[in-house]
Amino acid sequence: MRAGPGQVLAGRYRLTDRPEALDAFAVDERSGDVVRLRGWELPAALTGGQEPDGEDPVQGERLVRRVAAVGAAAPRHPRLLQGAGAFVEGELLWTVEEWPAGRPLEALLAEGPLPPYRAAEVAADLAAALRALHDAGLAHGNLTAGSVLVCEDGAALLGGLLPGVAEEVLAEELGGPGGRRRYEIRAELVGAVAERWPLDGGPAGDCWALGVLLHRMATGRAPYPESGVPELVTAVREGRRVPSEACGPLGPLVERLVQPDPALRPTAAEVRAELAELLAGAPEPVAGERVAPPPLPEPRRAAGRRGAAERGGAAQRRGAAGAGRTEEPGPARPPRIPPAMLGPLLVGGVFLLLLLGVAAVVLFAG
């Protein structure tokens, strides 16, 4: 890599780790915030190093402007990570995105699938972020497990908007507006990730990708084969996938989201409303019940429900213990009078009796 810890990029982003696969974290020295940097190798033609066939080279600054324009148009939403822009340094194109404390959903899913209602909570947050983008006239196009950050309080934040735009722009710049060449370049940039290969783009494509991600969260795998891009694209076109019944209570929603006809798919707003209804009827967790796997931090609301259930279970256990107390005697109770007070009390009692006796003699003698 051309960059390492401590190096400052674009005059403001100080790297805090060594970039791996052109993915690094840095501190914005102007704001003090932690950001995530994603980078792509640029051909010499894009940086002005050579002229292909005598034509004017495509300047990297044009890529930066196209990516930055999407970031500037993106709305602010509590479930949407904000993109801070893009820049070219050397032969690399970088995008910048805020990155608060949390764990990528991709890392959490590496530990196993989520319980269905936890997956529904994450998907509801993502649907809210998608709705904000769609209302602003934008599509995301990069909804994957690697683009989702799960914060310490359990909230899911959708990122990856600018990296997705950068990959699409690069594929277009290098491969042309369409055709085989663009497909090959995009396949190399994106890889065999099912969520990135919908049959259609725009908001309907985002909702399809959300259905694929829901299936991945609930089952631990994509509904389509990911052995290679050609196999994946062919399976998507032919509708060959794992049945949605494997997703449990999320199955009916997943089935509608991944259907071929985009006009029949629910919108992000409709997905959000349906998930809210599903979560409202979610069964209460049983105290002491093992939920496997539990990789995500529970949101505060869910934690409250679990705490109430645990307190109820504890009360029942205490009641059962009280009912059987005669069978198993508890520890001996301490004496009502401390042993140290027995001597003084005995002397005082004797003295009192003597006084009463003297009083009785005087009374009868008189």
Domains belonging to the chain, first-starting first, are 8-282 (1.10.510.10)
Burial class (CB in 10 A: 0-12, 13-18, 19+), 131: buried
pLDDT number for residue 318: 38
For residue 177, what are its two tokens? 């507006």
Positions of E strands within the chain: 8-9, 13-15, 23-28, 34-41, 83-89, 92-98, 102-104, 148-151, 156-158
pLDDT digits (tens, 9 = 90+) for 1-60: 456 788 999 999 999 987 777 899 999 999 999 999 999 998 876 766 555 444 444 578
Strand pairing partners for 39? 94
Work out the end-to-end distance of the chain between its first and last CA atoms, rounded to an integer number of angstroms: 119
Higher pLDDT, 287 or 173: 173
Asked if residue 194 lies in contact with residue 241, where contact means CB atoms within 8 angstroms, the answer is no
- What is the DSSP code (8-state) at residue 97? E
Residue 155 has pLDDT above 50, yes or no: yes
Higher pLDDT, 133 or 322: 133
pLDDT number for residue 198: 97
Confidence of residue 347 (pLDDT cuts 50, 70, 90): low
Rounded distance between C-alpha atoms, residue 111 and residue 318, angstroms: 36
Residues whose CB falls within 8 Å of the CB of residue 222, separated by 6 or more in sequence, listed in order:
194, 195, 212, 215, 216
For residue 217, what are its two tokens? 């969260």
Angstrom CA distances, 242 to 214, 219, 246, stand at: 13, 10, 8
pLDDT digits (tens, 9 = 90+) for 73-93: 999 999 999 999 999 998 899
Question: How much is the CA Rg of the chain, to the nearest whole Å?
Answer: 34
Residue 290 has pLDDT above 70, yes or no: no
Residue 258 has pLDDT above 60, yes or no: yes
Could you give the strand order of the β-sheet that contains 102-104, starting from the edge strand earlier in sequence? Answer: 102-104, 148-151, 156-158
Highest mean pLDDT among 83-92, 305-314, 348-357: 83-92
pLDDT number for residue 282: 84
Q: 104 by DSSP, 3-state: which? A: strand
pLDDT number for residue 324: 38
pLDDT digits (tens, 9 = 90+) for 210-221: 999 999 999 999
pTM for the full model? 0.75
Higher pLDDT, 275 or 325: 275
pLDDT number for residue 23: 92
